[in-house]
Structure 1
């Protein structure tokens, strides 16, 4: 089965050019000048005139079916990957969450059981390491052999995911040995817990306290400490969901010095702020995530970081909890509000607004949302590029279309939208996952179980 996508502007990190794309089965067979591929006689033709032709989006940070605070995120691998496809994301990398006292292999097996046969698009895993010991350190090598070459650790959440500096050092030493990348949730959780306890003791229990007790200085301190430990060990370091200008400054300094330090940010930190956490009543609970939303003044620094590549990737940290019954667990104590926000469906659209506003270029949009995560996490050139031989993960995007985001129209399995009422320019028109049309103007035509597990290589950006 061959499909010809004709008349569109094929977008890469270097920019856009008019070209046709021929898909044969699950792969891209050829990319050629307009009209040059028509002689090959495709079975189907998709007219992309006036539209962009993009490599499918790669969301390198999602949490489907994640246990947290006595509940779990409400998107399953089926609903979450379907919603991702609607938004032009054709690959997710989710997190297998090690519980204390369990092995990494048992954890990986558990997450395979959740995802296998249930995904509408392709997927991979990172491993959360929360129990550092001789056994888990040895298992990191077997995880790499199994295609999981990135390991997330936490400087936050004492008693749950938190690792001491000594444990982080040991894991980083092992990562350096096996070529893996350490991903870090960088917040000073010990200090944050003290501030949160003081707020509750003083009767300050509303959602905005989540942000006030997690100040940007404590994200910056932890980021700097993680960078120092990575420098001592020589391990590659990837800071997840960076939100604060001070933390970005630490990353920029390390990168300028030639250290293998990388960082991502998320759409919520580019468009939302602590003012949303302070909405009247309990509405602010919808915006509780960690790190928290910051003052709006941080947003200009984050956009600048995206332009300079000090922020290399835009992911979502998609971890949706319903407002009713889940976020409401923290009505009397903000510490009990499940941390996380929905967003996997809207990442590509929201970042396109940066193109519309002149914050980033068209090529940088594709780079941060697709090409760089493919390289960063060992999927390139299978993913992240429109080129012969690559998987036919292709998004046809209409830059002139308009849409309004709302919980009433999104496809995520959550009862609110963090971007309710946002008016956007641009919209996904058609999505192919490994050559199969899964989203079109006619609706969703994908299938549960189409998505395959991706055995990933190592970070391709290491000095």
Structure 2
């Protein structure tokens, strides 16, 4: 399939320029003014619009078995929703059970992901340690295109990694040329705070942020950064939600340490007042970890994105319906943690960031695709509009508007944390692998069209 996108302004992380973009098959084959195109090429008029790399959501959980249930979005519905919002690649998580083979879990997730409509790749969580885990990390890097490993410092008595596991896994990742990623919350402290709140009879969703204050996140972020510093490995902190964690990243980076930070679209625009709602179904719908914070933390996160100490934007897309969330109606610790957003991230970040003047269009590209592609070794296949890159593109209408609602979204779950927000700046078209998969509100997602993205190690592996 050949497509010509005419009359738009190409926006990359380094510059913006007027040009046509020609795709053939799944690659970009020419960029320039007044390009010739075959008579049978599909024409997209991008006049007055931007042509940008398809978004990369660095943090999603499709079809995740979690807290006794499974997320509402599977790999087809979740990636299809992403395409509708301009996200063409997701980075999901293989999360083995304690004592489960990493390779066994990886193959399970690969099977689930075969129905994806957009491209996908995996971080693999290290939830326990043994010589077998050491060996399988090498196999994943060498043979399966995995170059990042996830570590949960939270969720005691489930998937929490202790300090020994962190040290051993970080060391192994460095040997392999892979990057450790970290969910930074002190799991022991969270557990004790949860028990204290339950003993006091505080059982509703308003207790959730009380059990996970900023200090809990900051302690774990500082600890992970210190471990990485001693070992000499880079580290990537997922869903940074508070000023204190950002400060830890900024201090380390100022000293030359290679630390990267990720911000969620929800944490950028939603505050903790949602947990005080008298509508308990609404409050439970916002339960995720780390929780939404007070407004001054939002300002800090925007400063981090502008200043280069936060590098990517994601969603932690992990959808549960109201009935699933109701499992915790009498005990907030049993509310399945997770919110959606893969469909809305790009528009929310553009509306709140670019329209406010906090981000330029090129900075928007940097934090929605280019940095992710570079940090996780997918660049320049992903994250740039350039000849030879994947034809994963979003034609962006800066004047287009949409009011976000669960009633009109493509994602499942029946709830949206951005409900009622009108965003200015939306995709008019999304291309995945050269195919038009979204066009002015019409979703044309195809199950199984997504491809697994192999991510090479950063250095020669020593498996």
The answer to whether the Cα contact below 8 Å between 2:176 and 2:457 also exists between their aligned partners in 1 is no
**Does the Cα contact within 8 Å between 1:375 and 1:459 map onto a contact in 2?**
no
Equivalent residue for 1:446? Answer: 445
Gaps of 5+ in 2: none
Q: Equivalents in 2 of 1:183, 1:65: separation in Å?
A: 21
Q: Which residue does 1:372 correspond to in 2?
A: 371
1:128 aligns with 2:86: no
Partner of residue 436, structure 2? 437
Q: How many Å separate the matches in 2 of 1:85 and 1:39? A: 25
Contact 2:428 2:441 in 1 (8 A): no
Specify the alignment match of 1:143 in structure 2.
Answer: 140
Equivalent residue of 1:50, what SS? Answer: coil
Q: Is the 8 A contact 1:10 1:386 kept in 2?
A: yes
Asked if 1 retains the 8 angstrom alpha-carbon contact of 2:80 and 2:118, the reply is yes
- The answer (yes or no) to whether the contact 1:376–1:458 under 8 Å persists in 2 is no
Q: CA deviation at 1:232?
A: 1.1
The alpha carbon displacement at 1:349 in A equals 0.3
Choose which of 31, 51, 54 in structure 2 pairs with 1:53. 51
* Farther-moved stretch of structure 1 (138-147 vs 81-90): 138-147
Aligned-pair CA distance for 1:427: 1.2
Distance 1:432 1:196, change over 3 A: same
SS in 2 for 1:449: coil
TM-score by length of 2: 0.97
Q: Does 1:307 align with 2:306?
A: yes
Question: Which residue of structure 1 aligns with residue 410 of structure 2?
Answer: 411
- Contact map agreement 2:22 2:37 (CA 8 A) in 1: no
Q: After alignment, is 131-140 or 384-393 more displaced?
A: 131-140
Residue 125 of structure 1 contacts residue 148 of structure 1 at CA under 8 Å; is this kept in 2?
yes
Distance 2:438 2:336 in 1: 31
Counterpart residue number, 2:200: 202
Q: CA RMSD in A?
A: 1.2
Q: Deviation string for 1:145-199 (max 9, x for gaps)? A: 1101100001111111111111110111111111111100100110111111000
Q: Distance in 2 between matches of 1:285 and 1:45?
A: 45
- C-alpha separation between the residues in 1 aligned to 2:375 and 2:245? 20
Shift, 1:441, TM fit: 2.0
SS in 1 for 2:48: coil
Equivalent of residue 262 in structure 2, options 261, 264, 274: 264
Give the whole-Å Cα distance in 1 for the aligned partners of 2:296 and 2:72. Answer: 32
Query: Cα deviations across residues 381-412 of structure 1 (Å, max 9, x unaligned)?
Result: 11111100111001001100111000010000
SS in 1 for 2:372: helix
Q: Compute the displacement of 1:42 (Å).
A: 6.0
Q: Equivalences for 1:339-358 in 2 at 5 Å? A: 339-353=337-351, 354-358=353-357
1:19 corresponding residue in structure 2? 19
Distance in 2, matches of 1:278 and 1:15, equals 44
CA deviation after TM superposition for structure 1 residue 376, in Å: 1.1
- Structure 1: distance between partners of 2:98 and 2:190: 22
From 119, 127, 131, the counterpart of 2:116: 119
Deviation at 1:44, TM superposition (A): 2.3
Within 5 A, what are the aligned runs for 1:260-299?
260-282=258-280, 283-299=282-298
Q: Deviations 1:40-79 (Å, cap 9, x if unpaired)?
A: 6562221100011010001111000111110111100010
Say if 1:392 and 1:435, in contact at 8 Å, map to a contact too. yes
Q: Distance between the aligned counterparts of 1:162 and 1:346, measured in 2?
A: 30
2:58 partner SS: strand
Q: Judge conservation of contact 2:10–2:18 (CA < 8 Å) in 1.
A: yes
In 2, the alpha carbon distance for the partners of 1:443 and 1:162 equals 41
Find the counterpart in structure 2 of residue 10 from structure 1. Answer: 10
Tell me how far apart the structure 2 counterparts of residues 185 and 15 of structure 1 sit (CA, whole Å): 33
1 CA distance for matches of 2:81 and 2:278? 29
Following superposition, the deviation at residue 458 of structure 1 comes to: 3.6
Give 1:317's aligned residue.
316
Distance across 2 between alignment mates of 1:401 and 1:43: 26
Partners of 1:313 and 1:202 lie apart in 2 by 39
- Aligned counterparts, 1:75-224, within 5 A: 75-116=73-114, 118-145=115-142, 146-224=144-222
Task: Write the distance in 1 (CA, Å) between the matches of 2:457 and 2:21.
Answer: 29
SS in 1 for 2:424: strand
